[in-house]
Amino acid sequence: MTYPVDTPQQLRTILRTLRQSRNLTQTQLGEMLGVGQKRIARIEAAPEVTAFDQIARMVSALGCKLVIEEPPQHRVAEDIPQPYSPKW
């Protein structure tokens, strides 16, 4: 499943939901990452001030991966071939 993230609020919700969907407590996830429950709580509460490597390790421990996706480019109408119409 893909979870688009545009805001820190969305990342908060996704991280918490992923952890809970795996039936992990903050303490259990912290043990997997070698940090305490309070650190997991702080990451979930404020991912925007968390180091990228910690977010990446947390996402990986939850069985997911981070992906940067470039949106498809919008084609300009004049670039789209028009059907042939003879000029009679």
CB 43 within 8 A of CB 34: no
State whether residue 38 is helix, strand or coil: helix
Residue 71: per-residue pLDDT: 81
**Segment-wise mean pLDDT, segments of 10 residues, the chain, 88 residues:** 92 97 98 98 97 97 93 67 63
Residue 1: per-residue pLDDT: 87
pTM of this structure: 0.77
